[in-house]
Amino acid sequence: MKHLFFDLDRTLWDFDKNSETALNILYDELKLENHLRSFRSFHTKYKKVNGELWDQYSKGKISKDLLRVKRFQDTLAHFDVKSKELSHSLADGYVSLSPYQTNLFPDAIETLEKLKNDDFELHIITNGFLEVQHIKLDKSGLKPYFDIILCSEEVGKNKPSRLVFDHALDKANATSDESIMIGDSYEADIVGAENAGIRAILFDPNRIHREGRHKWHIHELKAIPETLPWM
Instruction: Please state the three-class secondary structure of the chain as a single string.
Output: CCEEEECCECCCECHHHHHHHHHHHHHHHCCHHHCCCCHHHHHHHHHHHHHHHHHHHHCCCCCHHHHHHHHHHHHHHHCCCCCHHHHHHHHHHHHHHHHHCCCECCCHHHHHHHHHHCCCEEEEEECCCHHHHHHHHHHCCCHHHCCEEEEHHHCCCCCCCHHHHHHHHHHHCCCHHHEEEEECCHHHHHHHHHHCCCEEEEECCCCCCCCCCCCCEECCHHHHHHHHHHC
Contact 191, 158 (CB under 8 A): no
Where are the domain boundaries for CATH 3.40.50.1000 in the chain? 3-13+103-230
Q: Which CATH superfamily is domain 3-13+103-230 in?
A: HAD superfamily/HAD-like (3.40.50.1000)
Average pLDDT over residues 2-31: 97
Average pLDDT over residues 16-39: 96
Pick the CATH number of 15-100 from 1.10.10.10, 3.10.450.50, 1.10.150.240, 3.40.50.720: 1.10.150.240
Q: pLDDT (tens digit, 9 = 90+) per residue, 30-52?
A: 999 999 989 999 999 999 999 99
**CA 123 from chain center: how many Å?**
14
Q: Is the pLDDT of residue 58 over 90?
A: no
- Give the pLDDT band (50/70/90) at residue 87: very high
Give percent of the chain with pLDDT exceeding 70: 100
pTM above 0.85, yes or no: yes
